[in-house]
Amino acid sequence: MFDRTDDYEEKIKPILKELNRMCVICGIPYFAAFCVKDMDGKTSYRNVLYSASNMSTVLSDDQLCKHINVANGFDTVLHQPELDFSVFDDLDDPELEITNCARKKEISRMMFLERYTQAYQILYLIQ
């Protein structure tokens, strides 16, 4: 348990104001999170942001937006890439095409079962 709110306000915040000023001048977007208090089962944060949208800039991979979402209570979900079925495509041989079609269905069924199992495990852990 701790409460560093006064330290943040007196020592950190003035430095952040200067950091923010320099980031604005240089055009550098940023996000920073500071845990200032943890007492009685509650944690308090101070979040500071200079976003790319403030500069009318679009980032190719806007990680800042994702950090802000988490700070606002969003949960993270691991991205799972889709399988590339093109490795099974062989249009020159109709017999292989039928086999590949059956193989694709089997892979789809296995993926469904795997995701269903993962979802069930997650639900079990939440309870």
pLDDT digit string (tens) for 52-81? Answer: 887 788 888 888 888 888 888 888 887 777
Which of the listed ranges 13-27, 74-88, 101-115 does the model predict with the highest average pLDDT? 13-27
- Provide the 8-state DSSP code for 53: G
Q: Spell out a b/e string for 46-69, using b for 16 or more CB atoms within 10 Å of the CB, else e.
A: bebbbebeeeeeeeeeeebeebbe
pLDDT, position 127: 45
d(C-alpha 34, C-alpha 28), whole Å: 19
Position 84 pLDDT exceeds 80? no
